[in-house]
Structures are given as C-alpha cells and as structure tokens.
Homo-oligomer: A and B are copies of this chain.
C-alpha cells in the first residue's frame, strides 16, 4: 500500500495530466481525491469519473462543505479576515482543509506520498506543503506541475498524446473558488492599469444595474452567524443565502495588487459577496459589544492572523494561539445586525444586542448620568506628559 500516492484532484487539465505523470514517474498507483468546498462549477461525479479515465486506481469525492463553513469560515469571520481587502484569503482558506483530507486519506490507505497540482509561481504550493508538514510531518509531498516542470504547452501535448479525456478549452485566466469567494488572475488582468471586464465575474452581478435595495438581518451568537431574518440556519446555509442576495447586488468585488509570499506582486480580481456582508455585520456587532482596548488590540491580531493564513501557516502554533485569543473575545459578540444591500455596497443600518456596552444615558448629551467634571481631571492628567515635554523643549 506504500506504493500509492494521493493526488488532490480538481478535474482540470493540470491535475488530469498529473495522474499519469505521477504514475509513470513514481511507479506508484494514483488515488485521486476531490474535496467539495463549495467551488461549484462542474459536477463532482463527472470529476470523479474523469480521474479514473485518466488512470487513477481509485477516485474519491469528499463533501467537506459544512466542515469548511464551521471550522474554516467561522474562524476567518471571527478574525474579520477579509476586512483588509485581501483576496488572497479566499484561496488560502481552503488549502489547509484539502491538505488535511489528503493526509487523512493517505494515512487510511497507507500511502507515504501526496501530490498537488500547483505551479511554483504562486503561494498555493507553500500553503499545501506547510499544511501537510504540520499535520503529517513524514508524508512526502510532490508537485508535478512545479517539480516536473510542466508548462501549459507540454501539458496539452501530453494530454493529446495520451488521449486523456481532459476539459477542452482552457480559460484565459486562472480561477479559484470556494464557499467563501472566488479569485481570478492572469491574462490581460496582468496590466494593473486595465479595468476588469464584467464577464470576469461569476458570483456577483453588475452593481451598476438599477435594482431595489434588499435588507437582511443577521443574528450572531458568540461570533457565529446563526440566523437570517430570524430563521436559524447552519453556517453553510447562512453563507450560501448571503452569497445569493449580496451577489445579486454586486457586493464584495475586489480588484487589488497583492504580494505573494514567494516575493512577487500579482493582480487579483475577487468576489466574495457573502463574506463581505458577514464581515461587515460581524465587525459592526463587535463595536457594540467589545471594550475599546479589545477592539484596538484585536485589529493587530486580525492583521497577523490574516498574514499567517495567507502565508500557509493555518495549522501552525501561532495561528492556533491567536485563535484562542480571538475565541475568548467572542463570548459577548451576540446580537442582530441589519444590512442594506444595494449598488455594490453593503451598509449596516442598525445593530442591537443584550450584550451591548452602549449606554444610552451616558452617551446622551443632555443627560446628567455622565459627570462632566470628571473629564477635567482626566484631561489634565492625559495632557500632562505633553505639557512636561513642551516645557522641556522650550527650555532647550
């Protein structure tokens, strides 16, 4: 059984060619593993069948959509992880889950090797390999497209020569999609001065089209979205529902130049309608229920969390310790947020919570609940270091 290699199989040209290539190069039987993280597109039964036609001895499809929603999307939401306009977090979020299923399958089958179809210019191979190293440190990890120097042309030639049932026309650009969003790069997009065409988008409609606004209320319990307009749903369903309604209004499009871990800049188009709406709602509810210094410090933690996940360190110790911090902050993040969706924009128009720290009486200008005279002492001592320094500066 150690003569098996488990390949993360997407059904595309690269991994389809990879089946035979891996078998020929390693002399091992190839097991194809497709993981459903909500990528949509082709039917996964067809994908499973193609792997067998391409020479896999076994072909497995795992429905990991709820696992993805509960264990990957929820931590990302608690950490407000798209708020920094980072399309990289779309792809980065599904890689560790796929790597985990690769490692699990390899362990079950006694395989000592796993493989993925990423090339060497992106960050995804690093994310795959770092995740595998962190959960199955002795598994070998092969990247045929990178290590065996596959180019687009040689891949097509190989497929033709071996009469592989691969998908016909390759797209002009590279796409990565899952429940949390969809990212596109390559092609004419590579000139960052070119505006993206409308047909690059698949999850969001043109925000410029005239429509009536929609309003949606999302309920959170301890940072987890649990209901829409009062109806309780699984997290998976919440995201799907919001993808639909926010996507209809063109919410959540990103067009950014980003830095890859491997040292180069890339231009990315992404769309993440449900994610954008959920993070806007979650962040807003935090402002109502968390203390000021928690909000301030958590911003830095969120930034580090997003960097770590983007850099492939999902299973690393630091990321897990940051999760402990974030989870601790979420105990009061419960309540309702009302969102307005229109014209590409998501707007919070109201928030309420039994855990609210907003005190109507203290905030009210006309009220006597707040003792104005305390402000004087505070202001004096708050200014004291500046005053002392100013006296020193004047004397010198």
Residues of A within 8 A of B (CB): 84-85, 119-121, 125-126, 129-130, 132-138, 143, 146-147, 149, 151-152, 174, 185-186, 190-196, 207-208, 210, 213, 253, 255-259, 261-267, 283-284, 287-288, 290-297, 299-300, 303-304, 307-308, 311-313, 315-318, 320-322, 324-325, 327-329, 332, 338, 340, 342-345, 347-352, 354-360, 362-366, 370-392, 394-396
Contacts and interface: CB of A to CB of B under 8 A. Distances in A.
Contacts of A332: 392, 396
A368 to B, nearest CB: 8
B351 A257 contact: yes
27 contacts: A120-B376, A129-B380, A130-B383, A134-B386, A135-B390, A149-B373, A152-B366, A192-B356, A192-B358, A193-B350, A193-B351, A255-B348, A257-B287, A259-B287, A259-B385, A264-B363, A265-B288, A267-B363, A291-B317, A291-B386, A296-B303, A296-B307, A299-B303, A317-B389, A325-B328, A355-B392, A374-B381
A339 to B, nearest CB: 11
Nearest to A343: B343
Given A137-B394, A194-B350, A257-B287, A174 B365 contact: yes
A192 B364 CA distance: 12
Number of this chain's copies in the assembly equals 4
A143 B344 CA distance: 45
B299 A84 contact: yes
Contacts of A394: 137
A371 B360 contact: no
B313 A372 contact: no
B291 A297 contact: no
A133 B386 contact: yes
Nearest to A287: B257
Contacts of A256: 284, 287
Contact of A196 (B266, B327, B349, B372): B349
Nearest first, the 4 A-B pairs at minimum CB distance are A377-B377, A343-B343, A120-B372, A263-B384
A321 B317 contact: no
A370 B120 contact: yes
